[in-house]
Amino acid sequence: MTFQAFTQSLNDTQPPPNLSLALEALWYDGQGNWEQSHQLIQDEPGTEAALIHAYLHRKEGDTWNADYWYRRAGRTRPALSLQAEWEALVQELLP
């Protein structure tokens, strides 16, 4: 799937089939459904989940919690807009 196809799918009512959990969480966030996105990712292990979790808490405005999750993902909070971070994460995680 391309980035363009992913972003176009945000007009659909359901995420595309066969997305990773991290991409599905970003899809819901891209639709403006922070709660669904957070619910999908919050209890998942691994670096990708921690990275999405960090982004979501940054978006929420909970910087302290976001920084904790960025550290868990082995990263630091990026100096990007939230939209630019979302786009970068989608592009990084697309196969």
- In order along its 95 residues, the chain shows pLDDT tens digits of 999 999 999 999 999 999 999 999 999 999 999 999 999 999 999 999 999 999 999 999 999 999 999 999 999 999 999 999 999 999 999 98
- Domains of the chain by residue range: 3-8+19-93
The closest alpha carbon to 93, from 27, 17, 15, belongs to 27
Nearest-angstrom CA–CA distance, 17 and 57 = 26
